[in-house]
Chain A
Amino acid sequence: MLSVREVTVRYGPFLALDGVSLEVGRGEIVGLIGPNGAGKSTLLRALAGLVTPAAGSIALRGRPLAGVEAFRRVGLGMALVPEGRGLFPHMSVEENLLMGAYAVRDRARVRENFERVWALFPVLADRRRQLAGTLSGGQQQMLAIGAGLMSNPEICLFDEPSMGLAPIVIGEIAEGLHRLREAGLTVLLAEQNAKLASDVASRIYILQTGRIRYHDIPENLLRNPEVVEGFLSVY
């Protein structure tokens, strides 16, 4: 589904990503974990077209994405839910979702997508006219995810959905992610919260200072003392 080959991103003299390669298969949830500043957000932003890699290639369903503008990638079936609850606080829940549906021309399809989001996060349906900025942190994150789903993506890139959320709320987000996988959505999940990532992902990449250090299924990573010591100590 998504294939990343030797992607390098520089911010001026600073090397943010150093030859990162990874694969995400159809219907899979793949975790991307690593400490602050490891390059997780940079990788997702490069995939979404918000930063341009200095080297390497990204392909979606075999189609190279070089030179494809960020907004067109959404039309190709890739949605990024940015870090820090990407939403418009002065707009209502419904308006926020409508923003995500821009690429969908068919109105019936938009209504269908609304229903999908309401079913996934029923609490949003009760608050559809409320201003997004007045929702709780967890609800805001659900809304951000919902807005990403409104464009009918085949693959979703989630950037730290657990950020700043209470454990019980993270549980609700995890439940949402499980349901998305059951629905057949492909997900690349960047997380600092290794527990959430290993809970929902079938494979995990560990990123450190711009390079992939480990790549395995969560069970194996949990048996590796070096990994547990270095990256999963919250576990």
Chain B
Amino acid sequence: MTDRLRVPRVAGVVLLVALALALPVAVADRRFYAFIVGITFLHVLWTAGMNLLSGFTGLIPLMYAGLAGIGAYVTVNLVMSAGVSFWLAMPLGAVAAAVVGVVLGLPALRLRGFYFTLSSLVIQSALTLLFVYFPRFTQGDTGISQIPAPTVTLPGLGTAALTGVWFEETLAVAAMLAVLVVWRVTRSRWGAYLVAIREDDVLTEALGIDVTRFRVIAFFISSLLAGMGGAFYAHYVAFVSPRSFDVLTSLNIWLMVAFGGRGTIAGPIVGAVILAPIPYLLQDLYLYKDIIYGVLIVLVTVFLPAGVWGSLLPRLRARLGAAAPARVPGKEFV
């Protein structure tokens, strides 16, 4: 790391954190926009987890939404049927997602590249079917509605539901924590091993690194974040159905990572911030919504193949006179 980039980087992070915390307050009395901000924070959380696998480890987990679903259903059932506090149920849901993810994914983790993606697609399909055919826990295609907001008990102030701007602020903090976790992991020695696996898993194995073990670790953390996002999603939107967690959701999250810049920390944030609001903001243009979405993606694929941030970052560094970074991914879009 060069010193020249230190100040802009720290300033950028401080600015971003301030902006993330101020935004929900700024739009607090316009619930529609506040909701979009909340949904965007959720996607920042999800893309951080997706990025750890698809960006840094080189595995595209198409069962990501299914794991988010496990986190959501476990949490919702614990809260609504067993009366467990959301703050206890949510981590349990996230751990459940991670454990299920590792158990289901273990055979697939021995595969690489395209074959892993294919088997993850099968796992996603199986999870979706599971959600549909176990209505006892999921209410099937009808979905679970009126999911209560989490409650917060403050000493001396009593108990209140976490709603409105407070929920959006909570999501902002959760998203920042997720990004922080991924940043910490990828900047450690482990992160270097993950990148090595992405770049050349055979060579990594030949050098004596236990490739499967590091894939499992990355997969566990990623699934944990997927499940955590699912739990927050359920209680924020107050409604979940198997469609909330189908393969399209997985693809969408993956797309945000690739669009922003896989294998970078800021890239997926950029991707989520640009793409997550589009379906909501363009609701009046429902005829053209998908076309605009598609054109945007094609444009980025063609002109910025490493993603918006992934393509601009090297230019930014060059302008600031900093050395080329190590560990940047290749120029391919996926």
Q: Is A75 an interface residue (CB 8 A)?
A: yes
Fill in one digit per residue for A138-157: 1 if any B CB lies within 8 Å of its CB, else 0.
00000000011001000000
Residues of chain A lying within 8 A (CB to CB) of residue B199: 88-91
Q: Is A53 an interface residue (CB 8 A)?
A: no
Fill in one digit per residue for B185-227: 1 if any A CB lies within 8 Å of its CB, else 0.
0000100110110011011111111110000000000000000
Q: What CA separation (Å) do A100 and B207 show in the bound complex?
A: 5
Q: Which of B41-49, B99-107, B156-164, B322-330 contacts A (4 or more CB under 8 A)?
A: B322-330
For window 102-139 of B, CB contacts with A under 8 Å fall at: none
Count CB-based A-B contacts (< 8 Å): 73
Q: What CA separation (Å) do A131 and B327 show in the bound complex?
A: 9
User: A99-B193, A99-B196 are contacts. A91–B326 as well, Cβ < 8 Å?
Assistant: yes
Fill in one digit per residue for A61-93: 1 if any B CB lies within 8 Å of its CB, else 0.
000000001111111000110100011111110
Q: Is the CB of A91 within 8 A of B205?
A: no
Q: What CA separation (Å) do A100 and B327 show in the bound complex?
A: 16
Q: Is the CB of A50 within 8 A of B206?
A: yes
Q: Is the CB of A88 within 8 A of B200?
A: yes
Q: Is the CB of B327 within 8 A of A102?
A: no
Q: Is the CB of B326 within 8 A of A147?
A: no
Q: Is A196 an interface residue (CB 8 A)?
A: no
CB distance from B270 to the nearest CB of A (A): 21
Q: What CA separation (Å) do A98 and B192 show in the bound complex?
A: 9
Q: Is the CB of A71 within 8 A of B327?
A: no
Q: Is the CB of B205 within 8 A of A50?
A: yes
Q: Is the CB of B206 within 8 A of A86?
A: yes
Q: What CA separation (Å) do A88 and B210 show in the bound complex?
A: 17
Q: What CA separation (Å) do A151 and B114 show in the bound complex?
A: 31
CB distance from A46 to the nearest CB of B (A): 13
Residues of chain B lying within 8 A (CB to CB) of residue A18: none
Q: Is A30 an interface residue (CB 8 A)?
A: no
Q: Is the CB of A74 within 8 A of B207?
A: yes
Task: Show 12 residue pairs from A and B whose CB-CB distance is below 8 angstroms, ordered by the A residue.
Answer: A50-B205, A69-B210, A71-B208, A82-B202, A82-B203, A88-B195, A95-B192, A95-B327, A99-B193, A99-B207, A102-B209, A131-B326
- In the complex, besides A69-B210, A92-B326, A147-B207, 15 extra interface pairs with C-beta distance below 8 angstroms are A50-B205, A70-B205, A71-B208, A71-B211, A74-B208, A82-B202, A87-B203, A88-B203, A90-B326, A90-B327, A90-B329, A95-B326, A98-B189, A99-B204, A103-B208
Shortest 6 CB-CB contacts between residues of A and residues of B: A74-B208, A103-B208, A86-B203, A102-B209, A80-B206, A70-B205
Residue positions of B touching A, CB distance < 8 A: 189, 192-193, 195-196, 199-200, 202-211, 324, 326-330
